[in-house]
Chain A
Amino acid sequence: MSETLVAAAEEAPRAADLAFDRLYRSSRDDIYAYVAGLLRDGPAAEEVTAAAFERAYRKRHRFDPERGEPRAWLFGIARNAALDELRRRDRQAELTAEPVDLHSFGAEAVAEHSERRLAVSTALERLAPRERELIALKFFAGLSNAEIARVLGVSESNAGTKLHRAMTKLREACDGTA
């Protein structure tokens, strides 16, 4: 994505809104996929996705193109919202130990697919959130390693290394499941 929100915002407020609208339309499903992959909870993912876009819309005039692409900026906001949701879950778990709704996530997809895909889905559950996040960013949201690096605030090579490790763990988890 070559355009920037700020450049458009300086031209006219309406242009900034249009740029954000384009960003929203190009990223809506990717953001949801990433958040849902990280949280493994459909209703929570919807809530977090909506909150992330709302936050981004409010901050759209503060976006600095020198600090990265709009898409990476948007994923950063979504990431913070998702991590806040994880924190909230942790706090509630301390008091209520309420189980997370795992069955709602990808139920339709899993039901329609083979046993192997069910094993992959189960293996994903077993991964730590940090590793699941990398896989979600790469394969659910479709981000490149460079974009992942910008979202996580690490170097591109580091992002690649982390992703490789996460894939290795996923494969091992699949082996364990199999």
Chain B
Amino acid sequence: MEPPRDDQLIADLRALRPAPRPEFAAELDERAAAGFPRRSRLPRFSFERLRAIPRRRLLLPAGGVALAVVAIGTVVALSGGSEQNNGGPLSLSSPKTPSAQRPPQEIKPFSKESPEVQYEAVVPVAPSAGAASKDSAEALNGDFNASFRPRKIERSAEVVLGAEPQGVAGDAAKVFEAVHTNDGIVMHSSTRQGKAGEAGASFDLLIPSAKLPDALAAFSAIDEVRSRHEATADITAPTVSTAELLRESRARIDSLLGQLGEAETESEREAVEAELRHERHHASRLAAQLDHLHRRADLSRVSLRIVTGDSNESSGGGAWGIDDAFHDAGHILAVAAAVTVVGLAILGPIALIALLAWLTHRAWVRRERRRALG
């Protein structure tokens, strides 16, 4: 056979042009009419396809996945470990207080009247302010699991009431009545008469912590509440450590008393007595300290002010105005900016890595396609 001429070769090539099967063409036409519905991609991820990939090509992604799993596991483990750290002020929403160590707290809406304080923690505390420190120390000496030990919470509150100048005296009387009703103590009070803005009253109060919610509700009912703030601090750790020190000190005193009985010489007796005096002084100081801690937990400090005049003049309370709107808008923008910065700080590197990975993959695919042509 003779080699083909150019025109023959071209004619032969055109004659050899592959044509699609009619069935395939019809099927493709149908799919085109339907807008090329996406076919199932499941076969792409089938096990057989996975097996077809050489193992050396699986090493890199598998290593990446393993590294990511290790990194996530480490982060989770570290964050879980940090949650074991307890102490410091009690935060109602703080994840730092493990639920196992919390007392049976009840979170409930405090008062619908309050414009700022919405929730409180009801914490079991000693029923009276005069609980003897010795009793408490003995209770703490008991051999019970620390996980179930009632926590000592110090609480304080600030309330600002708005009143008319002529109503200050009446409101002050109601404050005294509410304090009396709730077994509280008025540490300090002052009342000023005068025109709007000058007239007012202030009170420093001690309210039994168990009755603080009732007392605050009673104060809020006296007049217009312009602001109310509450704060809590967990003082369990210093209370427990002081109680333990007191127990050790008392054991030391008992031991010294025993030594005193067995002392044979005058100088020996004097030395033990001196040490005994010092230890008793130390125990006394610890008992006072423990008593003070108990008082802090049992009695809540309340600062109450009655102000007159425009509500804008009181600190942070009163009607919401244009200044507040600007302030709130600025605050919201600052928070939004902070969230954005944090988000970018997290997403930026991830996006950069993803971009680099995508570019690398793209370059690799191009190279492989060139290689596929031989």
In the complex, per-residue mask of A34-59: 1 if CB is within 8 Å of any chain B CB, else 0: 00110000100110011001100110
Given A129-B374, A171-B3, are A91 and B10 also a contact pair (CB < 8 Å)? no
Q: Are A174 and B17 in contact (CB under 8 A)?
A: no
Q: Is B352 an interface residue (CB 8 A)?
A: no
Partner of B18, one of A45, A57, A117: A45
Given A57-B36, A84-B369, are A95 and B52 also a contact pair (CB < 8 Å)? yes
Q: Once bound together, how far apart are the Cα atoms of A90 and B38, in whole Å?
A: 26
B255 to chain A, nearest CB (A): 82
CB-defined contacts of B24 to chain A, threshold 8 Å: 32, 46
Interface residue total, chain A, C-beta cutoff 8 A: 55
B14 to chain A, nearest CB (A): 6
CB-defined contacts of A149 to chain B, threshold 8 Å: none
Q: Are A24 and B20 in contact (CB under 8 A)?
A: no
Interface size class of B (residues with CB under 8 A): 35 or more
Q: Once bound together, how far apart are the Cα atoms of A113 and B1, in whole Å?
A: 14
Partner of B3, one of A17, A46, A178: A178
- Which positions 51-73 of chain B face chain A at CB distance < 8 Å? 51-54
In the complex, per-residue mask of B205-219: 1 if CB is within 8 Å of any chain A CB, else 0: 000000000000000
Interface 9-residue window, one of B27-35, B222-230, B280-288, B318-326: B27-35
Q: Once bound together, how far apart are the Cα atoms of A146 and B374, in whole Å?
A: 23
Q: Once bound together, how far apart are the Cα atoms of A36 and B374, in whole Å?
A: 17
Partner of A91, one of B2, B32, B54: B54
Q: Is A158 an interface residue (CB 8 A)?
A: no
Given A91-B52, A130-B373, A178-B1, are A28 and B13 also a contact pair (CB < 8 Å)? no
Nearest B residue (CB) for A86: B372
Q: Is B265 an interface residue (CB 8 A)?
A: no
Q: Are A120 and B3 in contact (CB under 8 A)?
A: no
Q: Is B4 an interface residue (CB 8 A)?
A: yes
In the complex, per-residue mask of B127-147: 1 if CB is within 8 Å of any chain A CB, else 0: 000000000000000000000
Q: Is B19 an interface residue (CB 8 A)?
A: yes
Q: Is A7 an interface residue (CB 8 A)?
A: no
Q: Are A42 and B1 in contact (CB under 8 A)?
A: no
In the complex, per-residue mask of B315-337: 1 if CB is within 8 Å of any chain A CB, else 0: 00000000000000000000000
Q: Are B3 and A106 in contact (CB under 8 A)?
A: no
Q: Once bound together, how far apart are the Cα atoms of A96 and B38, in whole Å?
A: 30
Nearest B residue (CB) for A54: B36
Q: Once bound together, how far apart are the Cα atoms of A46 and B31, in whole Å?
A: 13
Q: Are B13 and A53 in contact (CB under 8 A)?
A: no
Most buried by A among B10, B14, B36: B36
Partner of A124, one of B16, B19, B54: B16
Partner of A116, one of B8, B31, B39: B8
Q: Is B313 an interface residue (CB 8 A)?
A: no
CB-defined contacts of A106 to chain B, threshold 8 Å: 16, 18
Q: Are B374 and A174 in contact (CB under 8 A)?
A: no
CB-defined contacts of A21 to chain B, threshold 8 Å: 32
CB-defined contacts of A63 to chain B, threshold 8 Å: none
The majority secondary structure among interface residues of chain A is helix
Partner of A29, one of B1, B3, B6, B20: B20
Given A53-B36, A129-B372, are A28 and B20 also a contact pair (CB < 8 Å)? yes
Q: Is A165 an interface residue (CB 8 A)?
A: no
Q: Is A62 an interface residue (CB 8 A)?
A: no
Q: Is B310 an interface residue (CB 8 A)?
A: no
Partner of B372, one of A50, A53, A90, A139: A90
Given A28-B25, A95-B54, A120-B13, are A115 and B373 also a contact pair (CB < 8 Å)? no
Q: Is A83 an interface residue (CB 8 A)?
A: yes
CB-defined contacts of A124 to chain B, threshold 8 Å: 16
Q: Is B116 an interface residue (CB 8 A)?
A: no
Q: Once bound together, how far apart are the Cα atoms of A167 and B53, in whole Å?
A: 36
A112 to chain B, nearest CB (A): 9
B361 to chain A, nearest CB (A): 13
Q: Once bound together, how far apart are the Cα atoms of A106 and B124, in whole Å?
A: 89
Q: Are A54 and B38 in contact (CB under 8 A)?
A: yes
CB-defined contacts of A175 to chain B, threshold 8 Å: 3
- Which positions 133-153 of chain A face chain B at CB distance < 8 Å? 133, 135, 139-140
Kindly list 14 other residue pairs between chains A and B, CB separation below 8 angstroms, not including A28-B25, A171-B9. Answer: A33-B17, A36-B18, A37-B17, A42-B18, A45-B18, A53-B28, A83-B368, A83-B373, A84-B369, A90-B372, A109-B18, A116-B12, A128-B374, A139-B10
Residues of chain A touching chain B, judged by Cβ–Cβ distance below 8 Å, are 17, 21, 24, 28-29, 32-33, 36-37, 42, 45-46, 49-50, 53-54, 57-58, 80, 83-84, 86-88, 90-92, 94-96, 105-106, 109-110, 113, 115-117, 119-121, 124, 128-130, 133, 135, 139-140, 167, 170-171, 174-175, 178
8 shortest A-B CB distances, which residue pairs?
A36-B18, A86-B372, A83-B369, A139-B13, A130-B373, A57-B36, A32-B20, A120-B12
Residues of chain B touching chain A, judged by Cβ–Cβ distance below 8 Å, are 1-4, 6, 8-10, 12-21, 24-25, 28-29, 31-32, 35-36, 38-39, 51-54, 368-369, 371-374
